[in-house]
Amino acid sequence: MLNDDAFQAAVGNRSSAVVVNDDPVMSGYSQTVLRMAAERKLPIASVYPQFATNGGLMAYGPDLPAMYRRSAEYVDRILRREKTANLPVEQPSKFTLVINLKTAKALGLAFPPTLLARADEVIE
């Protein structure tokens, strides 16, 4: 269970926002984190789109379904006995940007139109 010590410290230190790290545990507590941040009027940014779709300010990170598909291809190659030393190291090539304008408006924030035009999803 999460407690709100980190959020109290963020407010006490006059933090302007909270960035949620790429961590499956944090992803599992997204509703609690979003509630705690909203109570303190702190914008949340994350790599997980669900944070933005559920009330956070924005999300930007690798396209997780694309990464999982690519991982499955690697597993297939390994199971076919391809030498792992022959497999190239890859980095994500597709990223997703989700912006929640409803949350931005509630926090008194605005996004530049050029950024909104680049977003994969804008929640109004």
Domain tally, the chain: 1
Evaluate whether residue 83 is within a structural domain: no
Evaluate whether residue 25 is within a structural domain: yes
Evaluate whether residue 87 is within a structural domain: no
Structural domain span for residue 46: 5-61+96-123
Distances (CA, A) of 72 to 28, 35, 53, 78, 86: 23, 35, 27, 10, 16
Evaluate whether residue 11 is within a structural domain: yes
How does residue 1 score in pLDDT terms, banded at 50, 70 and 90?
A: low
More confident residue, 124 or 7: 124
CATH number at residue 31: 3.40.50.2300
Evaluate whether residue 76 is within a structural domain: no
**pTM assigned to the model:** 0.83
The answer to whether 30 touches 61, Cβ cutoff 8 Å, is no
> pLDDT tens across 21-42, in order?
888 787 788 889 899 999 999 9
Evaluate whether residue 88 is within a structural domain: no
Q: pLDDT value at position 5?
A: 85
Evaluate whether residue 113 is within a structural domain: yes
